């Protein structure tokens, strides 16, 4: 049996929550390996709706959930999320949730700087969630981060806060924002310590034991390939590497343990926040996709921008992300549209290219080249086999496979877990 890594193949919000939940029911452990509480997965199980940001989706299925060292953790947000799902009847204890002791923490000064810098950008905003993810990753790279293990050492916390505040208070004062007092921050962290430390451990040891025992491991990615800090539409990206290769480094396992990589893509395209979006629709069709797809960010609440399926973008995500197969979601949102368009490449100053270039100026000039397909009038919602799909819907899916150069191994036709068509079991490798 193979392990499985799930990553977004577009700009995020592709419906990973449902797919991960469906896979988690068959896994032994679910691992978050990057990002922070800027990610959001909505899980619909029966009459219950769970909105998760930091907790691995496995907690909904009674499986072991793991938050890896590649994640930046806001301890208050994590504890608040634990309390929220407990109120919905889920048990979250150190028995079913483990946290890497070397994961970096998000402190109150991180979102303060995040929001202040975004305000200072004015009309050039990146579209950050303002939750401190970027500044926390900056501290990690600059070797001044406070990590989970540091909560057990008050002297270490005190020394590290001196260094942090020298850096942050200078920046905050320059931006005209209120600065922070060391003692208040220290007291805050010491109060959180006994609530967080029972979940902490040297996670690499447990992950090695799980792998050796042949347990099924599901790696749960956040955001998506085109938001990767290296490979995405920079600078309109997140602050971590979102590709499947990070599943290994972000959890303490070797790269051979990652296994089958499942990329998630919508049957159309959406994006939250700023940045290039060649196939974006500003007309009634774009409004229709947003309304039908209930396109509001789980974390931000902001309405997502909507457009036609961008096969050139997904093909790029497949190549960079190491995707072996696609899970195509929200096919039912396209029901009844007389005509569908698929972007096969871009015109940039007259030249045809099949990928988004790295330069922001070229990205902004990319005009989509479309292939037009006939739509379908019959409903695909709730379909659970190929036989349930209209012929034109099948043609649409098959054409996507050809253009992105990857097979569609799973097809989702509603938010419900059971409304899924499986062509290949990712756990079979």
pLDDT higher than threshold 70 for residue 115: yes
Cβ-contact 7, 264 below 8 angstroms = yes
Residue 6: what pLDDT?
Answer: 95
Tell me the C-alpha distance between 324 and 347, whole Å.
28
pLDDT in tens, 70-105: 999 999 999 999 999 999 988 899 999 999 999 999
Q: What are phi and psi of 273, to 5 degrees?
A: 85, -165
pLDDT higher than threshold 90 for residue 114: no
Catalytic residue from among 41, 110, 231, 324:
41
Tokens coding 13? 């919000």
Cβ neighbours of residue 303 closer than 8 Å, sequence gap 6 or more? 290, 295, 296, 297
Residue 300: what pLDDT?
Answer: 58
What is the dotted CATH code of the domain comprising 265-428?
3.90.170.10
Tell me the C-alpha distance between 363 and 360, whole Å.
5
Residue 13 bears catalytic tag: yes
CATH 3.40.50.2000 fits 104-196, yes or no: no
pLDDT higher than threshold 70 for residue 302: no
- The single-letter DSSP state of residue 107 is P
pLDDT higher than threshold 70 for residue 217: yes
Mean of pLDDT values over 20-44: 86
Residue 41 bears catalytic tag: yes
Share of the chain above pLDDT 90, in %: 75
The SS3 call for residue 99 is strand
User: Where residue 418 falls among pLDDT bands split at 50, 70, 90?
Assistant: confident
Residue 297: what pLDDT?
Answer: 64
pLDDT higher than threshold 80 for residue 124: no
Residue 314: what pLDDT?
Answer: 98
Cβ-contact 251, 69 below 8 angstroms = yes
Q: Which is it for strands 200-201 and 97-100: parallel, antiparallel or unpaired?
A: parallel
Distances (CA, A) of 17 to 406, 411, 416: 21, 14, 11
Mean of pLDDT values over 316-322: 96
Rg of the chain on CA atoms, in Å: 22
**Three-class SS of 358-400:** CCHHHHHHCEEEEEEEECCCCCCCCCCCHHHCCHHHHHHHHHH
pLDDT higher than threshold 90 for residue 46: no
Mean pLDDT of the chain: 92
Tell me the C-alpha distance between 244 and 34, whole Å.
10
**Closest alpha carbon to 354 in 343, 338, 364, 362:** 343
pLDDT in tens, 354-389: 999 999 999 999 999 999 999 999 999 999 999 999
Tell me the C-alpha distance between 110 and 73, whole Å.
11
Least confident of 9-18, 100-109, 189-198, 327-336: 9-18
**Can you give the pTM of this predicted structure?**
0.92
Catalytic residue from among 13, 139, 310, 419:
13
Residue 272: what pLDDT?
Answer: 85
Mean of pLDDT values over 405-415: 93
Tell me the C-alpha distance between 427 and 27, whole Å.
9
User: Where residue 126 falls among pLDDT bands split at 50, 70, 90?
Assistant: confident
Cβ neighbours of residue 49 closer than 8 Å, sequence gap 6 or more? 42, 43
pLDDT in tens, 55-64: 998 888 889 9
- Per domain, the residue ranges of the chain are 4-99+201-260, 104-196, 265-428
Tell me the C-alpha distance between 47 and 59, whole Å.
17
Mean of pLDDT values over 301-315: 91
User: Where residue 1 falls among pLDDT bands split at 50, 70, 90?
Assistant: low
Tell me the C-alpha distance between 68 and 318, whole Å.
24
Tell me the C-alpha distance between 62 and 21, whole Å.
11
Strands (E), 286-335: 305-307, 309-310, 325-329
What is the dotted CATH code of the domain comprising 4-99+201-260?
3.40.440.10
**Stronger pLDDT, 60 or 159, i.e. the higher one:** 159
Residue 62: what pLDDT?
Answer: 86
User: Where residue 128 falls among pLDDT bands split at 50, 70, 90?
Assistant: confident
pLDDT higher than threshold 90 for residue 43: no
């Amino acid at each position: 049996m193979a392990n499985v890594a799930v990553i977004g193949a577009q700009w995020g919000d592709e419906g990973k929550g449902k797919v991960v939940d469906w896979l988690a029911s068959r896994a032994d452990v679910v691992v978050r390996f990057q990002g922070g509480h800027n990610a959001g997965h909505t899980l619909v199980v029966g009459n219950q709706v769970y909105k998760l940001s930091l907790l691995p989706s496995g907690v909904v299925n009674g499986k072991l959930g793991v938050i890896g060292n590649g994640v930046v953790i806001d301890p208050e947000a994590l504890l608040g999320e634990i309390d929220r799902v407990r109120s919905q009847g889920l048990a979250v204890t150190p028995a079913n949730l483990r946290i890497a002791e070397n994961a970096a923490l998000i402190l109150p000064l991180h979102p303060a700087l995040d929001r202040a810098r975004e305000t200072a950008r004015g009309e050039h905003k990146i579209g950050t969630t303002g939750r401190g993810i970027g500044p926390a990753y900056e501290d990690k790279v600059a070797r001044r981060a406070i990590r989970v293990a540091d909560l057990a050492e008050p002297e270490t916390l005190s020394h590290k806060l001196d260094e942090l505040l020298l850096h942050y208070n200078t920046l905050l004062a320059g931006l005209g924002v209120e600065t922070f007092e060391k003692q208040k921050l220290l007291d805050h962290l010491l109060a959180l310590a006994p609530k967080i430390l029972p979940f902490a451990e040297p996670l690499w040891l447990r992950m090695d034991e799980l792998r050796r025992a042949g347990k099924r491991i599901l790696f749960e990615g956040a955001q998506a390939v085109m938001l990767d800090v290296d490979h995405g539409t920079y600078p309109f990206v997140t602050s971590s590497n979102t590709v499947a290769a990070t599943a290994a480094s972000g959890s303490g396992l070797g790269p051979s343990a990652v296994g089958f990589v499942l990329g998630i893509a919508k049957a159309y395209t959406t994006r939250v926040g700023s940045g290039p979006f060649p196939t974006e629709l500003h007309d009634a069709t774009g409004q229709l996709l947003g309304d039908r797809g209930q396109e509001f960010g789980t974390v931000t609440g902001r309405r997502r921008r909507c457009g036609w399926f961008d096969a050139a973008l997904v093909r790029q995500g497949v190549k960079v992300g190491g995707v072996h197969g696609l899970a195509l979601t929200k096919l039912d949102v396209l029901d009844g549209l007389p005509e569908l368009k698929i972007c096969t490449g871009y015109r940039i100053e007259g030249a045809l290219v099949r990928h988004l270039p790295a330069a922001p100026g070229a990205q902004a000039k990319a005009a989509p080249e479309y292939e037009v397909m006939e739509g379908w009038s019959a409903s695909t919602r709730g379909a659970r086999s190929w036989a349930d799909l209209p012929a034109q819907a099948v043609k649409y899916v098959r054409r996507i496979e050809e253009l992105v150069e990857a097979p569609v191994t799973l097809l989702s036709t509603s938010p419900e877990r059971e409304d899924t068509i499986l062509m290949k079991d990712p756990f079979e490798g």
